[in-house]
Structure 1
Amino acid sequence: MALKLAWIVQALVAFHAYPSLGFQHVLPRNINQKPTRVLGGVTVIDTPLVRAAQAMACQYSEDYLFNHIMRTWLFGALVISHNTTLQQTVDLEVHAIGSMLHDLGLVLNASWVSHDRRFEVDSAFAATDFVEGQVVHAPEGSAWDAHRLQLLFDSVLLSSEPKFSLYKEATVASQPFGEAFVPGYSAVGSRIFDIFA
Structure 2
Amino acid sequence: MSPATEELSPRRREILAAATTVLARQGNRGLTHRAVDREAGLSEGSSSAYFRTRDALIGALGDFVAARMSADVQAMGARLATCPGDHERATAEVSRLLLGWLEHPDVLTARLELSIAATRDGDLAERFLEWRDDLVGMVREVLAAAGKDGGQSAETLVAALDGVLLASLMLPVRRRRAFVVESVESMLAGLGTNPGTA
State the TM-score, normalized to the length of structure 2.
0.29
Tell which structure's C-alpha radius of gyration is larger: 2
State the TM-score, normalized to the length of structure 1.
0.29
Higher relative contact order, chain-length normalized (CA < 8 Å, sep 6+): 1
